[in-house]
Chain A
Amino acid sequence: MAGHSEEHSAHAHPSDRFYWIVAGVLAVVTALEIGLFIVNEQHLIAKWLEVTLLLILSTIKGAAVVMFFMHLKGDAGIFKFVFLVPLAFATTLLLSFMVLFSDHVGIAG
């Protein structure tokens, strides 16, 4: 991590080669996702495990896009703030609504 942030700091921008590598990683992860999806049409592993793996893989993907393509990694802290705080709110929104809509008891007060 430290090694990279060196590279991204100040105005030293990463090389094109680096972007190609990131894109390669993204391609591989996407392939893994799709592979997992197709293979598990046969229900080889439990659904929850598949979902967890998929979420992890796409988090990696998203993080790579944000950190390297959008250069959030190593960029000014304020950008992290204005992006990550709403991201946290957004996640809260999603999770809390899933809880709220999971079952209705129907007793008021």
Chain B
Amino acid sequence: MAIAERTAGTVSIPVVNVRPGWAGWLSTTDHKRIGIMYLVSAFVFFLIGGIEALLMRIQLGVPDNTFLTPDVYNQLFTMHGTTMIFLGLMPLNVGLGNYLVPLMIGARDMAFPRLNALSIWLFIFGGLMLYVSFFVGGAPNVGWFAYAPLTQKQYSPTAGVDYWIIGIGLTGVASIAGALNFIVTILNMRAPGMTLNRMPLFVWMQLVVAFILIFAFPVLTVATIQLLFDRHFGTRFFLPNLGGDVVLWQHLFWFFGHPEVYILILPTMGIISEVLPTFSRKPIFGYAFVAYSGVAIGFLGFLVWAHHMFAVGLGPLANAFFGAASFLVAVPTGVKIFNWLATMWQGSLNLTTAMHYAIGFISMFIIGGISGVTLASPPINVQQTDSYYVVAHMHYVLFGGAIQGIFAGIFYWFPKMTGRMLDERLGKWQFWLMLISFNLTFFPMHLSGNAGMPRRIYTYEADMGWNLWNLISTTGSLLLAVAFLLFLWNVVTSIRRGPIAPADPWDGATLEWAVSSPPPVYNFAVTPRVRSRRPLWDQKYPHLREINSGHGMSGAHNESEKRDGFEHETSPAMEPIHLPSPTYAPLIVSVGIMILGFGIIYLSDFGLIAASAMIVGLLIMAFGILSWVRISHVDSPHHAH
């Protein structure tokens, strides 16, 4: 099936100049390698965030515990939330997207491979900077949404908040750059015939998310810049005694923050929309509805931010508006859920591990969605906000939803990425253990929350009636750790000894399964020509092809087009394969930016040293940019090599 082999004789396979070993990774511009770097580094951060959670859970296992001091506990939940959101879940999604989007749309790489490399490095350095704070006077301890004025120097004198600002800033730049890359790639690099209407739903969701990102992230960037100026340069945006407004921070943060949660969930909804059809042996039910409901969720996501602020006292009118808008999100989300159910309906369900996780996603996500709806009712919210009920809600959507969705994706695409199959039996053990321990950990939080347990407390009294719930939660979280260890074991052993993966192990329908596992550097020897939503499927099962695919598209298929789901350009020998050369420039630029960031943090306290650090950073950056410009010129397709 692999096109590369079949047609290799007719094309010029490029001599790819990949540096060996570590150097190859440090200088890579290949979207697949970058995708893997995203996945691995994000997973490492995820495990660290998980360990932070375990420490918190141990502290909370029994009342009046003294395992952790309050300050350490406060650092842990701040870093746990920040890590999981910015360094764990987001980049896991970006990693999958990076690896798969070009493959799924029939492209050779992302639109801007060097920018892509810049994104991964900025992300890694941003994450490292955040963690440096632990060793230089204390990590941020203000919560992941960092409400003013607690973040002001007066109340948070350590540099933790500054590290938070700069760390989030670097990952933010990385995200915006990444989003630009996705938008251009998806809109502009699709293989011939791959209309928007035929794009895999995973790609659709990555596109929606990229747009949400570039609209929402700048708002956070500005807010954090203002906070930085407040802390260091004498401004007073969030200093109430000087006329600043602490509620403004909340509005700005959540104007970003709510769209952010859809940034986290939509890609995994895309994964589900790929996994379910494959293992049901059916096309997705209501393609257009699933795609456009994603757009609708993304859009509505910008109108609901103040549902995190119902207790702020915005007034009944504002609260009613934001509550109603939040309720509305249930409608497009429901549309997705029901279309997924309909996809499974009358299918031939192959209950692989990936399918287990996809089903697990649906069953757990709706619990989180429903608790979201009660939270969205302002009167109910004021009882539940800032309590463990919110913690329960967010973990049902983030873990039960997004993380399980990611696992569905990993079990589904691992063979494609590594050329090895994961152990299915171990995978199912992991699934069940995770599902059970996940519910043990987080379901009781609904109850303790409604029994009055506030969030972000490092200790509680024994007579509040929360003891049992907390003990169950803690037990569950320890079991969760076992489930993760199973997964790590599975990955480590499978990469070495797992069965060799064929190009198309799951009987897939989309283009990534048309190339070998793992795919060649250039992805497609010949750019495929796409005729339907399920190009590979239609090729394998011509009698089932979608006669009227792309619903509403003109039926201009001629006979030869109907024969195949996709074809190759008719003049294969003509197109030279052009791949970007490896380069260290993005790495150098991000090192420069990181040093600049350190300088900014200490500018007001250690003027001279910090300023020289900033200059060094700028110089390194300038050097990196120069070599970047040079390589991009030499590398340009018009330039004779």
Contacts and interface: CB of A to CB of B under 8 A. Distances in A.
Interface of A: 78, 82, 85-86, 89, 92-93, 97, 100-101, 103-109
B215 A107 contact: no
A109 B183 contact: no
B313 A107 contact: yes
Contact of B311 (A82, A101, A105, A108): A108
A86 B215 CA distance: 6
What are the 5 closest A-B residue pairs judged by CB atoms, nearest first?
A105-B315, A109-B382, A106-B313, A108-B313, A108-B311
B302 A89 contact: yes
B312 interface: yes
Most buried by B among A89, A93, A106, A109: A109
A109 B319 CA distance: 7
18 contacts: A82-B183, A85-B215, A100-B314, A100-B318, A101-B245, A101-B248, A103-B315, A104-B313, A104-B314, A105-B314, A106-B315, A107-B315, A108-B313, A108-B382, A109-B310, A109-B316, A109-B319, A109-B378
Contacts of A85: 211, 215
Given A104-B313, A109-B319, A97 B302 contact: no
Nearest to B380: A109
B232 interface: no
A80 to B, nearest CB: 13
Interface residues of B, number: 26
A103 B319 CA distance: 14
Contacts of B306: 100
A101 B302 CA distance: 18
Contacts, number: 47
B417 to A, nearest CB: 31
Contacts of B215: 85-86, 89
Contacts of A103: 315
A105 B316 contact: yes
Interface in B493-525: none
Contact of B219 (A93, A101, A107, A109): A93
B187 interface: yes
A85 B298 CA distance: 13
A109 B251 contact: no
Interface string B164-193: 000000000000000000010001000000
A85 B318 CA distance: 24
Contacts of B318: 100
Contacts of B319: 108-109
A86 B245 CA distance: 26
Contacts of B313: 104-108
Nearest to B382: A109
Nearest to B379: A109
B214 A86 contact: yes
B197 to A, nearest CB: 16
A100 B378 CA distance: 17
B287 interface: no
A40 to B, nearest CB: 28
Contact of A109 (B245, B255, B311, B317): B311
A93 B256 CA distance: 11
Contact of A108 (B214, B251, B255, B310): B310
A107 B302 contact: no
B278 interface: no
B304 to A, nearest CB: 12
Nearest to B317: A105
A92 B299 CA distance: 12
Contacts of A108: 310-313, 319, 378, 382
Interface string B226-254: 00000000000000000001001001000
B221 interface: no
A97 B211 CA distance: 22
A86 B219 CA distance: 12
A103 B318 CA distance: 11
B311 A100 contact: no
A14 B187 CA distance: 28
B566 to A, nearest CB: 24
B381 interface: yes
Interface in B281-323: 302, 306, 310-319
A101 B382 CA distance: 21
B382 A78 contact: no
A100 B248 CA distance: 10
Contacts of A100: 251, 306, 314, 318
A101 B317 CA distance: 13
Nearest to A90: B215
Contacts of A78: 187
Nearest to A103: B315
A80 B182 CA distance: 18
Contacts of B381: 109
